[in-house]
Protein backbone atom coordinates (compact mmCIF):
# COMPACT_ATOMS: atom_id res chain seq x y z
CA UNK A 1 0.00 0.00 0.00
CA UNK A 2 2.81 2.39 0.96
CA UNK A 3 6.20 1.63 -0.50
CA UNK A 4 9.26 3.69 0.23
CA UNK A 5 12.24 2.77 -1.89
CA UNK A 6 15.77 3.84 -1.06
CA UNK A 7 14.65 7.29 0.07
CA UNK A 8 17.54 9.62 0.76
CA UNK A 9 17.32 13.17 2.05
CA UNK A 10 19.91 15.65 3.22
CA UNK A 11 19.03 18.95 4.89
CA UNK A 12 21.49 21.81 4.78
CA UNK A 13 21.56 23.58 8.11
CA UNK A 14 23.78 26.21 9.69
CA UNK A 15 25.63 23.45 11.49
CA UNK A 16 26.30 21.53 8.28
CA UNK A 17 24.48 18.84 6.37
CA UNK A 18 22.05 16.57 8.20
CA UNK A 19 21.35 13.19 6.68
CA UNK A 20 17.67 12.96 7.66
CA UNK A 21 17.02 9.86 5.58
CA UNK A 22 19.79 7.49 4.63
CA UNK A 23 18.53 5.14 1.90
CA UNK A 24 15.41 4.15 3.77
CA UNK A 25 13.19 1.43 2.38
CA UNK A 26 10.04 0.10 3.91
CA UNK A 27 6.71 -1.30 2.91
CA UNK A 28 3.40 -0.88 4.69
CA UNK A 29 0.72 -3.36 3.70
CA UNK A 30 -3.00 -2.78 3.66
CA UNK A 31 -4.46 -3.18 7.14
CA UNK A 32 -1.17 -2.69 8.95
CA UNK A 33 -0.59 -0.51 11.93
CA UNK A 34 3.02 0.18 11.13
CA UNK A 35 5.07 1.94 13.79
CA UNK A 36 8.35 3.75 13.26
CA UNK A 37 10.27 4.31 16.47
CA UNK A 38 13.40 6.31 17.13
CA UNK A 39 14.76 9.13 19.23
CA UNK A 40 14.19 12.70 18.13
CA UNK A 41 16.33 13.62 15.16
CA UNK A 42 16.30 10.06 13.83
CA UNK A 43 14.46 11.14 10.68
CA UNK A 44 11.01 9.80 11.57
CA UNK A 45 9.21 13.09 10.89
CA UNK A 46 10.80 13.38 7.47
CA UNK A 47 9.96 9.76 6.74
CA UNK A 48 6.25 10.06 7.54
CA UNK A 49 6.01 13.27 5.49
CA UNK A 50 7.23 11.45 2.39
CA UNK A 51 3.92 9.61 2.28
CA UNK A 52 1.84 12.74 1.59
CA UNK A 53 4.74 14.53 -0.10
CA UNK A 54 5.06 17.23 2.52
CA UNK A 55 8.69 16.24 2.06
CA UNK A 56 10.26 14.91 -1.11
CA UNK A 57 13.26 12.61 -1.13
CA UNK A 58 16.47 13.78 -2.86
CA UNK A 59 16.74 10.34 -4.38
CA UNK A 60 14.53 7.29 -4.10
CA UNK A 61 10.83 6.84 -4.66
CA UNK A 62 7.57 6.71 -2.77
CA UNK A 63 4.59 4.73 -4.05
CA UNK A 64 1.00 4.72 -2.80
CA UNK A 65 -0.91 1.80 -4.27
CA UNK A 66 1.66 1.64 -7.02
CA UNK A 67 1.40 5.36 -7.87
CA UNK A 68 4.71 7.18 -7.88
CA UNK A 69 4.13 10.34 -5.83
CA UNK A 70 6.88 12.27 -7.59
CA UNK A 71 4.98 11.86 -10.88
CA UNK A 72 1.90 13.70 -9.63
CA UNK A 73 1.23 17.32 -10.59
CA UNK A 74 -0.10 19.87 -8.05
CA UNK A 75 -3.73 19.03 -8.68
CA UNK A 76 -3.24 15.27 -8.62
CA UNK A 77 -1.18 15.61 -5.46
CA UNK A 78 -3.96 17.54 -3.70
CA UNK A 79 -6.41 14.80 -4.70
CA UNK A 80 -4.05 12.12 -3.42
CA UNK A 81 -3.60 13.99 -0.13
CA UNK A 82 -7.35 13.87 0.47
CA UNK A 83 -7.04 10.11 0.60
CA UNK A 84 -4.42 10.31 3.32
CA UNK A 85 -5.42 11.63 6.73
CA UNK A 86 -2.83 13.06 9.09
CA UNK A 87 -2.84 13.74 12.82
CA UNK A 88 -0.20 15.73 14.65
CA UNK A 89 1.47 15.86 18.03
CA UNK A 90 0.32 19.47 18.53
CA UNK A 91 -3.10 18.72 16.98
CA UNK A 92 -2.86 21.73 14.60
CA UNK A 93 -6.51 22.62 14.95
CA UNK A 94 -7.97 26.09 14.44
CA UNK A 95 -8.13 27.00 18.12
CA UNK A 96 -10.58 29.87 17.74
CA UNK A 97 -13.13 27.91 15.74
CA UNK A 98 -15.74 25.44 16.84
CA UNK A 99 -15.23 21.70 16.87
CA UNK A 100 -17.83 21.46 14.11
CA UNK A 101 -15.98 23.90 11.87
CA UNK A 102 -12.65 22.14 12.38
CA UNK A 103 -14.02 18.77 11.36
CA UNK A 104 -15.97 20.33 8.50
CA UNK A 105 -12.95 22.02 6.89
CA UNK A 106 -11.79 19.04 4.78
CA UNK A 107 -15.38 18.72 3.55
CA UNK A 108 -15.61 22.44 2.81
CA UNK A 109 -12.49 22.00 0.70
CA UNK A 110 -14.37 19.35 -1.27
CA UNK A 111 -17.33 21.73 -1.69
CA UNK A 112 -19.67 19.22 -0.09
CA UNK A 113 -23.31 20.20 0.50
CA UNK A 114 -24.20 21.63 3.87
CA UNK A 115 -26.50 18.73 4.70
CA UNK A 116 -23.78 16.22 3.77
CA UNK A 117 -21.31 18.08 5.98
CA UNK A 118 -23.72 18.19 8.92
CA UNK A 119 -24.38 14.47 8.70
CA UNK A 120 -20.74 13.52 8.27
CA UNK A 121 -19.53 15.70 11.15
CA UNK A 122 -22.14 14.16 13.45
CA UNK A 123 -21.05 10.65 12.39
CA UNK A 124 -17.42 11.49 13.05
CA UNK A 125 -18.17 13.09 16.41
CA UNK A 126 -20.00 10.01 17.53
CA UNK A 127 -17.16 7.81 16.24
CA UNK A 128 -14.66 9.69 18.41
CA UNK A 129 -17.18 9.82 21.26
CA UNK A 130 -17.51 13.58 21.49
CA UNK A 131 -21.11 13.96 20.23
CA UNK A 132 -21.97 16.85 22.52
CA UNK A 133 -18.94 19.00 21.71
CA UNK A 134 -20.01 20.16 18.26
CA UNK A 135 -20.45 23.85 19.17
CA UNK A 136 -17.59 24.10 21.66
CA UNK A 137 -14.51 26.13 20.73
CA UNK A 138 -11.37 24.06 20.36
CA UNK A 139 -9.47 26.26 22.82
CA UNK A 140 -11.79 24.99 25.55
CA UNK A 141 -10.97 21.30 25.04
CA UNK A 142 -8.44 19.10 26.83
CA UNK A 143 -5.45 17.63 25.00
CA UNK A 144 -7.08 14.23 24.60
CA UNK A 145 -10.28 15.79 23.26
CA UNK A 146 -8.29 17.93 20.84
CA UNK A 147 -6.56 14.84 19.50
CA UNK A 148 -9.94 13.14 19.02
CA UNK A 149 -11.07 16.15 17.01
CA UNK A 150 -7.80 16.00 15.06
CA UNK A 151 -8.52 12.36 14.30
CA UNK A 152 -12.14 13.08 13.34
CA UNK A 153 -10.90 15.80 10.97
CA UNK A 154 -8.37 13.41 9.44
CA UNK A 155 -11.11 10.84 8.84
CA UNK A 156 -13.61 13.30 7.35
CA UNK A 157 -12.82 12.49 3.72
CA UNK A 158 -12.75 8.69 4.26
CA UNK A 159 -9.02 8.27 3.72
CA UNK A 160 -7.45 4.86 3.18
CA UNK A 161 -4.29 5.78 5.05
CA UNK A 162 -3.88 7.57 8.35
CA UNK A 163 -0.53 9.12 9.25
CA UNK A 164 0.08 9.75 12.94
CA UNK A 165 2.93 12.11 13.74
CA UNK A 166 3.68 11.48 17.43
CA UNK A 167 -0.09 11.59 17.99
CA UNK A 168 0.12 10.64 21.65
CA UNK A 169 3.41 12.27 22.65
CA UNK A 170 1.78 15.37 24.11
CA UNK A 171 -0.71 13.35 26.16
CA UNK A 172 -0.67 11.76 29.62
CA UNK A 173 -0.52 7.95 29.89
CA UNK A 174 -4.24 7.47 30.48
CA UNK A 175 -5.23 9.68 27.55
CA UNK A 176 -2.56 8.01 25.42
CA UNK A 177 -4.23 4.70 26.17
CA UNK A 178 -7.64 5.90 25.01
CA UNK A 179 -6.24 7.45 21.83
CA UNK A 180 -4.41 4.21 21.05
CA UNK A 181 -7.67 2.31 21.46
CA UNK A 182 -9.33 4.75 19.09
CA UNK A 183 -6.57 4.20 16.51
CA UNK A 184 -7.05 0.47 16.84
CA UNK A 185 -10.79 0.91 16.30
CA UNK A 186 -10.08 2.97 13.16
CA UNK A 187 -7.84 0.22 11.85
CA UNK A 188 -10.24 -2.63 12.62
CA UNK A 189 -13.66 -1.10 11.97
CA UNK A 190 -12.84 1.26 9.11
CA UNK A 191 -10.06 -0.84 7.61
CA UNK A 192 -7.71 2.13 7.47
CA UNK A 193 -3.99 1.45 7.20
CA UNK A 194 -2.04 3.39 9.81
CA UNK A 195 1.56 4.57 9.68
CA UNK A 196 2.70 6.16 12.90
CA UNK A 197 5.91 7.55 14.28
CA UNK A 198 6.69 7.65 17.97
CA UNK A 199 9.48 7.62 20.50
CA UNK A 200 7.43 5.57 22.95
CA UNK A 201 7.87 1.80 22.73
CA UNK A 202 4.60 1.47 24.62
CA UNK A 203 2.73 2.72 21.55
CA UNK A 204 4.38 0.05 19.38
CA UNK A 205 3.71 -2.63 21.96
CA UNK A 206 0.04 -1.72 22.30
CA UNK A 207 -1.12 -1.37 18.71
CA UNK A 208 1.51 -1.91 16.02
CA UNK A 209 1.71 -5.20 14.15
CA UNK A 210 4.90 -4.07 12.43
CA UNK A 211 7.75 -1.90 13.57
CA UNK A 212 10.78 -0.19 12.10
CA UNK A 213 13.54 1.20 14.31
CA UNK A 214 15.28 4.33 13.06
CA UNK A 215 18.63 5.71 14.04
CA UNK A 216 20.45 8.62 12.41
CA UNK A 217 18.36 8.46 9.26
CA UNK A 218 18.64 4.71 8.81
CA UNK A 219 16.16 1.95 9.46
CA UNK A 220 18.31 -0.34 11.55
CA UNK A 221 15.75 -3.04 12.19
CA UNK A 222 12.25 -3.82 11.02
CA UNK A 223 9.73 -6.59 11.04
CA UNK A 224 6.71 -7.94 12.84
CA UNK A 225 6.46 -6.40 16.28
CA UNK A 226 6.31 -9.74 18.03
CA UNK A 227 9.53 -10.90 16.35
CA UNK A 228 11.38 -7.68 17.02
CA UNK A 229 10.25 -7.70 20.64
CA UNK A 230 11.21 -11.26 21.27
CA UNK A 231 14.53 -11.12 19.47
CA UNK A 232 15.82 -7.60 19.10
CA UNK A 233 19.11 -7.54 17.18
CA UNK A 234 20.49 -4.03 17.48
CA UNK A 235 21.58 -2.48 20.76
CA UNK A 236 19.17 0.44 20.36
CA UNK A 237 16.27 -1.89 19.64
CA UNK A 238 17.14 -3.79 22.80
CA UNK A 239 17.09 -0.53 24.73
CA UNK A 240 13.67 0.29 23.38
CA UNK A 241 12.28 -3.18 24.08
CA UNK A 242 13.65 -3.00 27.60
CA UNK A 243 11.52 0.09 28.27
CA UNK A 244 8.35 -1.97 27.94
CA UNK A 245 9.37 -5.59 28.45
CA UNK A 246 11.49 -6.42 31.42
CA UNK A 247 13.93 -9.26 30.97
CA UNK A 248 16.57 -8.34 33.48
CA UNK A 249 17.46 -10.48 36.43
CA UNK A 250 17.03 -8.42 39.61
CA UNK A 251 20.31 -7.30 41.19
CA UNK A 252 19.84 -9.18 44.47
CA UNK A 253 19.30 -12.41 42.56
CA UNK A 254 22.33 -11.85 40.36
CA UNK A 255 24.46 -11.82 43.48
CA UNK A 256 23.18 -15.23 44.51
CA UNK A 257 23.74 -16.95 41.19
CA UNK A 258 26.09 -19.89 41.22
CA UNK A 259 29.03 -18.71 39.12
CA UNK A 260 29.67 -21.91 37.15
CA UNK A 261 26.16 -23.08 36.34
CA UNK A 262 24.83 -22.00 32.91
CA UNK A 263 22.06 -19.41 32.75
CA UNK A 264 19.55 -19.70 29.92
CA UNK A 265 16.97 -17.26 28.68
CA UNK A 266 13.86 -18.83 27.14
CA UNK A 267 11.48 -16.74 25.08
CA UNK A 268 8.22 -18.28 24.00
CA UNK A 269 5.06 -17.24 22.17
CA UNK A 270 1.45 -18.15 22.64
CA UNK A 271 0.31 -21.01 24.82
CA UNK A 272 3.64 -22.61 25.23
CA UNK A 273 3.69 -25.13 28.10
CA UNK A 274 6.79 -23.74 29.75
CA UNK A 275 5.95 -25.13 33.13
CA UNK A 276 5.84 -28.58 31.59
CA UNK A 277 9.13 -27.90 29.87
CA UNK A 278 10.83 -26.98 33.11
CA UNK A 279 9.56 -30.02 34.95
CA UNK A 280 10.55 -32.22 32.02
CA UNK A 281 14.14 -31.03 32.30
CA UNK A 282 14.12 -31.76 36.01
CA UNK A 283 12.86 -35.29 35.40
CA UNK A 284 14.83 -36.35 32.35
CA UNK A 285 18.16 -34.82 33.19
CA UNK A 286 20.12 -34.88 36.34
CA UNK A 287 19.93 -31.11 36.80
CA UNK A 288 18.32 -28.69 39.19
CA UNK A 289 16.61 -25.71 37.60
CA UNK A 290 16.20 -22.44 39.39
CA UNK A 291 13.95 -19.76 37.93
CA UNK A 292 15.79 -16.45 38.21
CA UNK A 293 13.27 -14.35 36.35
CA UNK A 294 9.94 -14.77 34.61
CA UNK A 295 7.56 -12.40 32.87
CA UNK A 296 4.50 -12.68 30.66
CA UNK A 297 3.52 -9.88 28.25
CA UNK A 298 0.67 -9.51 25.86
CA UNK A 299 1.37 -8.12 22.40
CA UNK A 300 -1.74 -7.65 20.29
CA UNK A 301 -3.31 -10.77 21.68
CA UNK A 302 -0.18 -12.91 21.54
CA UNK A 303 1.56 -13.96 24.71
CA UNK A 304 5.26 -13.25 24.90
CA UNK A 305 6.84 -15.04 27.85
CA UNK A 306 10.38 -14.76 29.12
CA UNK A 307 11.95 -17.13 31.62
CA UNK A 308 15.53 -17.07 32.80
CA UNK A 309 16.71 -20.36 34.26
CA UNK A 310 19.83 -21.57 35.88
CA UNK A 311 20.78 -25.18 35.22
CA UNK A 312 22.83 -26.70 38.03
CA UNK A 313 24.51 -30.08 37.85
CA UNK A 314 27.31 -31.97 36.12
CA UNK A 315 28.54 -30.21 32.98
CA UNK A 316 27.66 -33.15 30.74
CA UNK A 317 24.11 -33.15 32.08
CA UNK A 318 23.58 -29.40 31.82
CA UNK A 319 24.93 -29.51 28.27
CA UNK A 320 22.45 -32.25 27.41
CA UNK A 321 19.61 -30.29 28.97
CA UNK A 322 20.68 -27.21 27.01
CA UNK A 323 20.76 -29.15 23.74
CA UNK A 324 17.32 -30.51 24.54
CA UNK A 325 15.93 -27.00 25.06
CA UNK A 326 17.23 -26.00 21.67
CA UNK A 327 15.10 -28.65 20.04
CA UNK A 328 11.96 -27.28 21.68
CA UNK A 329 9.60 -24.61 20.40
CA UNK A 330 11.23 -21.77 22.32
CA UNK A 331 13.95 -19.23 21.66
CA UNK A 332 17.00 -20.18 23.72
CA UNK A 333 19.79 -17.80 24.59
CA UNK A 334 22.78 -18.41 26.81
CA UNK A 335 23.36 -15.56 29.23
CA UNK A 336 26.73 -14.71 30.68
CA UNK A 337 26.43 -13.18 34.11
CA UNK A 338 29.17 -10.77 34.95
CA UNK A 339 30.01 -10.68 38.64
CA UNK A 340 31.72 -7.62 39.97
Q: Nearest Cα to 42, choosing from 195, 240, 166, 216?
A: 216
Minimal distance, residue 156 CB to other proteins, in Å: 9
Contact between 112 and other proteins by CB under 8 A: the answer reads no
Residue selected from 38, 43, 57, 106 as contacting other proteins according to rule CB under 8 A: 106
Minimal distance, residue 133 CB to other proteins, in Å: 14
**Nearer to other proteins by C-beta: 136 or 254?**
136
Minimal distance, residue 76 CB to other proteins, in Å: 10
Minimal distance, residue 42 CB to other proteins, in Å: 19
Minimal distance, residue 240 CB to other proteins, in Å: 27
Contact between 35 and other proteins by CB under 8 A: the answer reads no
Contact between 90 and other proteins by CB under 8 A: the answer reads yes
Which 138-197 residues touch other proteins, going by CB under 8 A?
153, 157, 163
| Sheet with strand 2-13: strands edge to edge | 16-28, 2-13, 59-64, 67-68
Choices 19-27, 81-89, 182-190, 284-292 (CB under 8 A): range interacting with other proteins: 81-89
Contact between 65 and other proteins by CB under 8 A: the answer reads no
Contact between 114 and other proteins by CB under 8 A: the answer reads no
Judged by CB under 8 A, how many residues of this single chain contact other proteins?
Answer: 28
Contact between 263 and other proteins by CB under 8 A: the answer reads no
Q: Which residues bind other proteins (CB under 8 A)?
A: 52, 54, 74, 77-82, 84-86, 88, 90, 92-97, 105-106, 108-109, 137, 153, 157, 163
Amino acid sequence: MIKIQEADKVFQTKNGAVHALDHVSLEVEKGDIFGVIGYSGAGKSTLIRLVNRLETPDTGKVFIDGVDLSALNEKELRKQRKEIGMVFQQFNLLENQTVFHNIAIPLLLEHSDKSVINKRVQELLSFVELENKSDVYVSQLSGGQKQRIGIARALATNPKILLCDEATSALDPKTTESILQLLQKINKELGITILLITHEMNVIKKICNKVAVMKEGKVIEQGETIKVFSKPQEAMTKDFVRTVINSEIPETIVEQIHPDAPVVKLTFFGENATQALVSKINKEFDVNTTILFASVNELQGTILGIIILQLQGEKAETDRAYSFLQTQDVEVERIVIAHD
